[in-house]
Structure 1
Amino acid sequence: MQIVRTTYLSLGSNLGNKFKNLQQAVDIIALEIGTIAKISSIYKTAAWGFESDDFYNICVQVSTSLNPENLLDAIRKTEISLGRKRTSEKKYKARIIDIDVLLFDNEIIFSKELIVPHKEMLNRKFVMVPLAEIAPNFMHPIEKQRIQVCLANCTDDNKIENTYLKLKRPICLSEKFNYIAIEGNIGAGKTTLTNLIAEDFNAKIILERFADNPFLPKFYEDNERYAFPLEMSFLADRYQQLSDDLAQFDLFKNFIVSDYYIFKSLIFAQVTLQKDEYFLYRKMFDIMYNEISKPDLYIYLYQETPRLLENIKNRGRDYEQNISPEYLDKIHKGYATFIKTEKNLNTLIVDVTNKDFLHNIEDYKEIIELIKNVE
């Protein structure tokens, strides 16, 4: 389980569109560093220590799983991505963006690259005023006083003005969704994506227990004989697992993510069962389906059949190696029909045919952004 800690960052800009610079920085921080819990108002101050245009300054509270060294590295990459050019000169100068680590939980850090708490923060109103707005009762680890008291003791007499401008706070997945179900054809990558999201966003994970099903290898050898016991056993197991796991609230997790939804049972049953078997199966399914909680977001990962066959071959499960393209095409059609007819699900379809979200971080980030933008 990831350890998530709270850090407070100071951001400033006095070149170009300062409001836009700060918003872009906040958006990147949310993507690369962690969940932004609070953002202060934007404060305007004169350049500190040199002659230049006025600065816009804010402070943000971020929950991050990064350690201090990786946090600093991510901050520098954020500055560079926004156009900041660092030099070896020590003097102050105008900048598109400047990001400083003020506090990292209650830790005291003295290293060559990073000093926390920031050694100058108590002497700068452009830092202390926005920080006191979002964390007035946080205890300074060295001074042993609340930030609000530290601000009152600050001797900086430079003018600071609240612009009352507000940046848009990026919304975390856990604030939008309590339960996300990820579906897809065989080999689409649903379990891989589920694991990645659970790890990165501290989610409770529900994975289908297909490996424990004794009928699965037999089904791939003799479809007609083992189709009905296979589908009935899957339905019973999925119903029990989802009923148990969705009912158990985990205080230490932000939300739930699963690599299947129970309607998957009906889609596969339509493909594998004879008509009379399917009629009986449907009766059992309808009873169970009405009892299962519906996901806040249903994600369908679409991959073209040739890519699915390639993925199936690469993962090397013996009993899957004879799966035919025709069988995968039928499952595709089953999902397409379900998505068109099931109007009560909040559905996101993602074409991952040309994406490698396990090995390509940009592909993964693109999918996360699609999820975050779902209404």
Structure 2
Amino acid sequence: MKIQRTTYLSLGTNQGDKLENLQNAIHLIDESIGGVQKISAIYKSPSWGFEGNEFFNICISVSTDQLPATLLESLLAIEKELGRTRTNQKGYQNRNIDIDILLFEDEIIFSKTLTVPHSKMLERKFVLLPLVEIAPNTIHPIEKNQLHVCLQNCSDTSEVLKITQRLERPIQITEKYNYIAIEGNIGAGKTSLANLLSDTFNAKLVLERFADNPFLPKFYEDKERYAFPLEMSFLADRYQQLSDDLAQFDLFKNFIISDYYIFKSLIFAQVTLPEDEYLLYRKMFNLIYKEIPKPDLYVYLYQNTDRLLENIKKRGRTYEQNIESEYLEKIHDGYKSFINTQDGLNLLIIDVSEMDFVNTPADYNFIINKIKNHPPNKSGN
């Protein structure tokens, strides 16, 4: 599990469309650093230490797993992406965006590149006013006073005014969904993604217990003989597991990620069973399907067949090594048919054929942001 810690950031701008500058910075911070938990009102203030346009200032709290040094690098990258150019000129300057780390939990840091708490924060009313708004009782780790007391003791007499415009806080995945099911073909990476998401969001993880199924190796050796007992055992096991694991959320984990959904039983059965056995199987499935909680979001990972075969070979399960491309294509067609007939399913299709989201953070962040920006309670891709 990744450890999430709270950092407080100050954002300021005095060039261009200041509201847009702040909003763009908030979204980039949310996408690349961590969930934005709180956003203060916007405070207008005169330029500090130089003659320039007036500033718009805010403070935000962010939950992040990044260490302070990495966080600083990420913030500098965001400033650069938003068009800020740092120069060697001494003194303060106009800027379209400025992002400072004010506090990082209760840590005290003095390094060549970073000082936390920010060395000037207690001298600046345009920093303390928005910070106290979102964290009045937080303790300054050096002063040992609550921030609202620090504000009362601030000697800054400059005029700082709250304006009426408000900024939008990005909605977090855990606020939109209670239950996300990850699905895909054999070797698509659904278990890997489910593990990563569970780790990132401290979610309850529900993994399919395929390794415990005694019929699976036999099925790959003799499909005709073992197809029906395999599919029936999978159906019974999936029903039992989902019934148990989804009956109630963990006390401290109200977010569930699973690497399968019960409907996959029907998809695989349609591919593996002859028509008469499938019709019998379908009757059993329909009875069970009504009793299973439906996911708030169904994520389907698409991978092309060549990539699937490569992944299957790489993970080295002996009983999977003789899987043929035709079989994988039939399974994909089954999922496609299912997807096209489920109007009420909140569906997100992500093509991961050219991604390595396990080893490439940018690919993983892309998937997170696709999920985060997907509209809830609507179908579509």
| TM-score where L is the length of structure 1 | 0.95
Q: Give the match for residue 24 of structure 1.
A: 24
Q: Whole-Å Cα distance in 2 between the matches of residues 68 and 373 of structure 1?
A: 27
Deviates further, 157-166 or 305-314:
305-314
> Could you say what secondary structure the match of 1:87 adopts?
coil
For residue 136 of structure 1, report the CA deviation from its aligned partner.
Answer: 1.7
For residue 94 of structure 1, report the CA deviation from its aligned partner.
Answer: 1.3
Retained in 2: the 8 A contact 1:202–1:254?
A: no
Q: Give the match for residue 354 of structure 1.
A: 354
Q: Whole-Å Cα distance in 1 between the matches of residues 356 and 170 of structure 2?
A: 25
For residue 62 of structure 1, report the CA deviation from its aligned partner.
Answer: 0.8
For residue 129 of structure 1, report the CA deviation from its aligned partner.
Answer: 0.7
Retained in 1: the 8 A contact 2:181–2:297?
A: yes
Q: Give the match for residue 305 of structure 2.
A: 305
For residue 29 of structure 1, report the CA deviation from its aligned partner.
Answer: 0.8
Q: Give the match for residue 180 of structure 2.
A: 180
Q: Whole-Å Cα distance in 2 between the matches of residues 3 and 307 of structure 1?
A: 33
Q: Does 1:222 find its partner at 2:243?
A: no
Q: Give the match for residue 124 of structure 1.
A: 124
Query: What is the one-letter code of the residue matched to 1:99?
Result: I
Q: Whole-Å Cα distance in 1 between the matches of residues 145 and 254 of structure 2?
A: 31
> Could you say what secondary structure the match of 1:72 adopts?
helix
Structure 2 matches for 1:157-306, cutoff 5 A? 157-253=157-253, 255-306=255-306
Retained in 2: the 8 A contact 1:8–1:60?
A: yes
For residue 321 of structure 1, report the CA deviation from its aligned partner.
Answer: 1.8
Q: Give the match for residue 115 of structure 1.
A: 115
Q: Percent of aligned pairs with the same residue?
A: 65
For residue 342 of structure 1, report the CA deviation from its aligned partner.
Answer: 2.1
Retained in 1: the 8 A contact 2:178–2:255?
A: yes
Q: Provide Cα deviations, 1:318-363, integer angstroms capped at 9, x if missing partner.
A: 2112212221121112111211222221111222223332333333
For residue 298 of structure 1, report the CA deviation from its aligned partner.
Answer: 0.5
Q: Whole-Å Cα distance in 1 between the matches of residues 63 and 283 of structure 2?
A: 47
Retained in 2: the 8 A contact 1:201–1:254?
A: no
> Could you say what secondary structure the match of 2:157 adopts?
coil
> Could you say what secondary structure the match of 1:154 adopts?
coil
Q: Give the match for residue 373 of structure 1.
A: 373
Q: Give the match for residue 64 of structure 1.
A: 64
Q: Whole-Å Cα distance in 2 between the matches of residues 259 and 54 of structure 1?
A: 51
For residue 309 of structure 1, report the CA deviation from its aligned partner.
Answer: 2.0
Deviates further, 276-285 or 117-126:
276-285
Q: Give the match for residue 340 of structure 2.
A: 340
Retained in 1: the 8 A contact 2:348–2:374?
A: yes
> Could you say what secondary structure the match of 1:243 adopts?
helix
For residue 88 of structure 1, report the CA deviation from its aligned partner.
Answer: 4.0
For residue 90 of structure 1, report the CA deviation from its aligned partner.
Answer: 4.1
Q: Whole-Å Cα distance in 1 between the matches of residues 89 and 204 of structure 2?
A: 48
Query: What is the one-letter code of the residue matched to 2:116?
Result: V
For residue 64 of structure 1, report the CA deviation from its aligned partner.
Answer: 1.2
Deviates further, 334-343 or 243-252:
243-252
Q: Whole-Å Cα distance in 2 between the matches of residues 163 and 192 of structure 1?
A: 46
Q: Whole-Å Cα distance in 2 between the matches of residues 250 and 107 of structure 1?
A: 31
Retained in 2: the 8 A contact 1:45–1:54?
A: yes
Structure 2 matches for 1:65-84, cutoff 5 A? 65-84=65-84
Rate the CA distance shift 1:108–1:362 in 2: closer, same or farther, 3 A. closer
Q: Whole-Å Cα distance in 2 between the matches of residues 142 and 355 of structure 1?
A: 45
Q: How many residues align?
A: 375
Q: Whole-Å Cα distance in 2 between the matches of residues 107 and 373 of structure 1?
A: 33
Query: What is the one-letter code of the residue matched to 1:153?
Result: N
Q: Give the match for residue 40 of structure 1.
A: 40
Retained in 2: the 8 A contact 1:179–1:297?
A: yes
> Could you say what secondary structure the match of 2:218 adopts?
helix
Q: Does 1:9 find its partner at 2:4?
A: no
> Could you say what secondary structure the match of 1:53 adopts?
coil
Retained in 1: the 8 A contact 2:231–2:265?
A: yes
Retained in 1: the 8 A contact 2:32–2:365?
A: no
For residue 299 of structure 1, report the CA deviation from its aligned partner.
Answer: 0.9
> Could you say what secondary structure the match of 1:2 adopts?
coil
Query: What is the one-letter code of the residue matched to 1:217?
Result: P
For residue 224 of structure 1, report the CA deviation from its aligned partner.
Answer: 0.7
Rate the CA distance shift 1:252–1:75 in 2: closer, same or farther, 3 A. farther
Q: Whole-Å Cα distance in 2 between the matches of residues 336 and 154 of structure 1?
A: 63
Q: Provide Cα deviations, 1:40-98, integer angstroms capped at 9, x if missing partner.
A: 11111111001111111100011111222222222222222222223344411111211
Q: Provide Cα deviations, 1:1-23, integer angstroms capped at 9, x if missing partner.
A: 22211111101111222221111
Q: Whole-Å Cα distance in 2 between the matches of residues 118 and 357 of structure 1?
A: 35
Retained in 2: the 8 A contact 1:104–1:117?
A: yes
Q: Whole-Å Cα distance in 1 between the matches of residues 142 and 361 of structure 2?
A: 38
Structure 2 portions without partners, runs of 5+:
376-381
Q: Whole-Å Cα distance in 2 between the matches of residues 174 and 349 of structure 1?
A: 19
Deviates further, 77-86 or 254-263:
77-86
Query: What is the one-letter code of the residue matched to 2:286?
Result: D
Q: Provide Cα deviations, 1:248-293, integer angstroms capped at 9, x if missing partner.
A: 4224335111110011011101111123322332222222211111
Q: Whole-Å Cα distance in 1 between the matches of residues 292 and 336 of structure 2?
A: 21
Q: Give the match for residue 364 of structure 1.
A: 364
